[in-house]
Structure 1
Amino acid sequence: MPDLSDTNVYLIFSFEGGLKLEGTINRIHAPLIIEEIIFRLPFEGKTGLMRNEMQIILGISKGNAKPTNDVKRGDIAYMPLGDALVIYLEDMRTYSKVNIIGKITSSDEQISSLKNVKRGSQVYITKKQ
């Protein structure tokens, strides 16, 4: 059984080209989704920026826990439709329902730098020590 004594999990997103972002995900938002993500760490994947959404394909095939269509800049969400972890670059209403699971804690300037990450670039996600 997972240790739920600390609900926050701190992550580092290292993008090809040198950009690094820090963020936190919280087990309370979607425990089964979060545990599956933690189990797969460290994780390497490909990125794709679409409609101010930085998508990272996960391959965990989970459903909705607490779905919403309303997201804020810097939110980290799991999108079941694309089976992807998504970082939002602006406040928006999403096309499909997503599960907000955390937040990027890096600066707004660093979040804006995601627009410079090339489609198909590698990202390495690790747990912050």
Structure 2
Amino acid sequence: MHVWLKVGNVKLEIELNNTSTAQKIWETLPIEATVNTWGDEIYFSIPVKLEQEKPQETVQEGDVAYWPPGHALCVFFGPTPVSGPGEIRPYSPVTVVGKVIGEAKVLKAVRDGEKVRLDRKETDE
């Protein structure tokens, strides 16, 4: 399951994993929202309300995760304000649902309040 994340001039491909959380997000697409930034993370509310599935306290650069307290999808491209040395730490545990294909650091250009769209990638794109 591959999706496009489009925000401002940035377009990224994301490969969703085989968690039931990722499947539920896939079923909900397309999603449009307003993006927020927090350190080297963007996040936005999505119309999915699920409990944690395999919660993780730290993530890797390029990870895409669902954050249950905010019903939000998060994309990590570097340290957050609560990260320790050499780690990427979400505000609280998240369920990793996918990974950015390519360079996630292009998200540094994204600003609070920009519109974001998450859409299915068709196989012939």
TM-score (ref. length: structure 2): 0.84
1:25 aligns to 2:13 (yes or no): no
1:99 aligns to 2:95 (yes or no): yes
Matches within 5 A, 1:61-76: 61-76=49-64
- Between the aligned partners of 2:10 and 2:70, the Cα distance in structure 1 is 24
Confirm or deny: 8 A CA contact 1:49 1:115 kept in the other structure. Answer: no
Confirm or deny: 8 A CA contact 2:22 2:98 kept in the other structure. Answer: no
- Between the aligned partners of 2:91 and 2:32, the Cα distance in structure 1 is 26
- Between the aligned partners of 2:69 and 2:39, the Cα distance in structure 1 is 15
Q: How many residues align?
A: 114
Please name the residue that 2:83 is paired with.
none
- Between the aligned partners of 2:30 and 2:62, the Cα distance in structure 1 is 21
AA aligned opposite 2:14:
G
- Between the aligned partners of 1:37 and 1:94, the Cα distance in structure 2 is 19
Confirm or deny: 8 A CA contact 2:6 2:117 kept in the other structure. Answer: yes
Runs of 4+ in 1 over 4 A off after TM superposition: none
Please name the residue that 2:5 is paired with.
13
| Unmatched segments (≥5 aa) in structure 1 | 1-8
Spell out, residue by residue over 1:56-107, the C-alpha distance to the aligned partner (whole angstroms, 9 max, x if none): 2113121101001010100000011211110001241223110011100022
TM-superposed CA distance for 1:36, in Å, is: 2.1
More strand by share: 1
1:119 aligns to 2:115 (yes or no): no
Please tell me the root mean square deviation across aligned C-alpha atoms, in Å: 1.3
Please name the residue that 1:3 is paired with.
none
Percent same amino acid at aligned positions?
28
1:79 aligns to 2:72 (yes or no): no
